[in-house]
Structure 1
Amino acid sequence: MCLIAFAWQVHPRWRLLLAGNRDEFHARPSAALARWNDLPIIGGRDLEAGGTWLGVTEAGRCCVVTNVRDPRDPQHGVSRGLLATDYLAGADDAPGHARKLLAAATGYRPFNLLTFDAGHGFYIGNRPTARAQPIAAGVHGLSNADFNTPWPKTRLLMERLQAWMDAGRDADFAPIFHALADERPAPDEALPDTGVGLERERWLSSAFIRGETYGTRASTIVAIGYDGSGLVIERRFGPSGHFEGESEWRWIA
């Protein structure tokens, strides 16, 4: 994933309400949202490395991973996508998993990881050093920088998620998908400097990125209730933002 906003333990119906966009090269092969045959995971799948960028289980667990945007940091190490599958298919709860991962985190490509179980949420990152922290109840955001770094698109998506909750919504996700589809760039004075140049910073500053070879591949909403029941909705896009389909998965605890 490259843009995430989520509400943790503050919505009256949803223990976790998460919205995010996955930006990737269009040539990288991936499978649509589905229940996997070989692991107890529901999510899309990276067919190149075998992992996922976002997944859930019918036990109410969720895991999301992003990369870290820093062209000066070589992309060496184990694939980030395997972090999500290891957590979702493993036996450890979020705190136990975080403790174990810290010891091996530097061996992976630069990552940010969010893990959730029935009662805990954790953030784990490995740049500039390995670190982990429990997630407090509230609305949070994550992109290709540190946890809750206020990049313009991250801050805006958090605000729109908060507005959705303030309006008393719990099942109409159209406004959230509308927020994920926002192509407006941030003003130059608000752009971060991540070493990719001004033009690319402008292009990457919108929630939805439209491009022929690289761009937003999927917009996804996860909603998991306090009883463990939930749903995942994924909308997929091809080159130049062409809509390619929508999938939905629901389960009852």
Structure 2
Amino acid sequence: MCLLTFQWQPDARVPLTIAANRDEFYARPTLPLHAWPEAGGGQIVAGQDQQGGGTWMGVHQPSGRLAALTNYRDPGHNRADAPSRGGIVTDFLQSPLGADKFAQALAARSDAFNAFNLLLFDGQQLVAFESRHRRHFAPQPGVWAVSNADFDTPWPKLVQLRRAFAEVLQAHQAAESPDISPALEAALWNLLADTCVADDADLPTTGVGLELERALSAAFVHLPHYGTRASTLLQHARSQVSVVERSFGAGGVEAPLGTVRLRLDFGG
């Protein structure tokens, strides 16, 4: 997951709404959103990185736990032998620990991984984790976003998506309905499909060179060998999660399986 925006309204009928893009190399084998074979204690519902075995965003049924991860862009400090960060998501989904306790325990071992950001929801508490600082915090109600830097770092695509996301949710009263309406879905797909790049003067400097910084400044990325592989919309209500995912291949072409829609019910 390389660009994620979310609305946190803990007292609303729908406390958590997410729109996100996952960027990855096209050659990295991936399974789309699906229910994984059950392992004692419940079932993970997520896409799956077949190389590392984990996922970038998933939900656990029947507990309703949710986690989503973005990588921190720092090519000069990445280690080729570091374990896959996608396993952190599955660890939380299957953990008995609450979000805060899990984040506390994770801080002690997060240096084993290349840098990342993590969003955790245990059904009651929402926690954001930044491995680079070994820091976790509870986001205040409102609209947030994270890409490949710390939470709410004002990269152009993050600022634009967060603002537009808030406007769309308000227009469609998304926090009032547990289902993603067709109109809301269409509006959010448009936001995630934006291929406009930022002006060079507004680009961050992350060590990948100007040409690549420019290409990665779009919400929807499509390079010859790397780009947006999945776009995901999710609404987490009190006893239900609605999730829709679109998968893409090289050049931003939608994958043959197209769109996957799932509705998960759990005790609330």
| Contact persistence 2:215–2:223 (CA under 8 A) | no
Q: CA deviation at 1:159?
A: 0.7
Measured after TM superposition, the shift of residue 252 of structure 1 is: 2.3
Alignment of 1:159 onto 2:166: no
| 2:52 is equivalent to residue 49 of structure 1 | yes
1:107 aligns with 2:112: yes
CA contact (8 A) 1:120 1:135 kept: no
Aligned to 1:187: 199
Task: Provide the rounded CA distance (Å) in 1 between the counterparts of 2:75 and 2:98.
Answer: 33
Matched residue type, 1:61: R
How far off its partner does 1:11 sit? 8.2
Large movers: runs of 4+ above 3 Å: 10-13
The two structures have a TM-score, normalised by structure 1, of 0.95
Pick the aligned partner of 1:66 from 67, 70, 74.
70
> What is the CA-CA distance between 1:119 and the residue it aligns to?
1.6
For 1:241 and 1:11, the matched residues in 2 are separated by 37
- Which position in structure 1 is the counterpart of 2:220? 208
1:217-239 CA-to-partner distances (Å, cap 9, x unmatched) read: 000011111x2311111000000
Shift of 1:12: 3.9
Cα deviation for residue 60 of structure 1 reads 2.1
Shift of 1:188: 1.4
> Per-residue deviation at 1:29?
0.3
Residue in structure 2 matched with residue 231 of structure 1 by the alignment:
242
The answer on 1:217 being equivalent to 2:221 is: no
Please say if residues 10 and 138 of structure 1, whose CA atoms lie closer than 8 Å, have aligned partners that are also in contact: no
Partner Cα separation in structure 1 for residue 226 and residue 172 of structure 2: 36
Match of 1:175, SS state, is helix
Counterpart residue number, 1:175 = 187
74-83 vs 87-96, greater mean Cα deviation: 74-83
Over 3 Å counting, the alpha-carbon distance change for 1:10 and 1:183 in structure 2 is farther
Report Cα offsets for 1:100-120 as digits up to 9, x if no partner. Answer: 111111111211111012221
Is 1:119 the counterpart of 2:114? The answer is no
Structure 2 Cα separation of the partners of residues 131 and 12 of structure 1? 27
Within a 5 Å distance, the mapping from 1:77-116 to structure 2 comes to: 77-116=82-121
* Structure 1: gaps (5+ residues): none
The amino acid of 1:99's aligned partner reads Q
Identity %: 41
Distance 1:10 1:120 in 2: 9
SS at match of 2:140: coil
Q: Deviations over 1:185-210 (max 9, x none)?
A: 01112111111111111100000011
CA contact (8 A) 2:244 2:261 kept: yes
The one-letter code sitting in structure 2 at the alignment partner of 1:217 is R
Greater alpha carbon shift after TM alignment, 70-79 vs 86-95: 70-79
Question: What TM-score does the superposition give when structure 2 sets the normalisation length?
Answer: 0.90
Query: Which amino acid counterpart does residue 79 of structure 1 have in structure 2?
Result: S
Matching residue of 1:31: 31
Name the SS of the counterpart of 2:76 in structure 1.
coil
Instruction: Judge conservation of contact 2:31–2:47 (CA < 8 Å) in 1.
Output: yes
Query: Aligned to 1:97, what secondary structure does the other structure show?
Result: helix
- C-alpha separation between the residues in 2 aligned to 1:124 and 1:135? 10
The aligned residue for residue 21 of structure 1 is 21
- Post-superposition shift, 1:164? 1.0
Q: CA deviation digits over 1:153-203, x for unaligned, max 9?
A: 111111111001221343221111110000000111211111111111110
Instruction: Letter of the 2:123 partner, please give it.
Output: A
Alpha-carbon offset, residue 10 of structure 1: 6.1
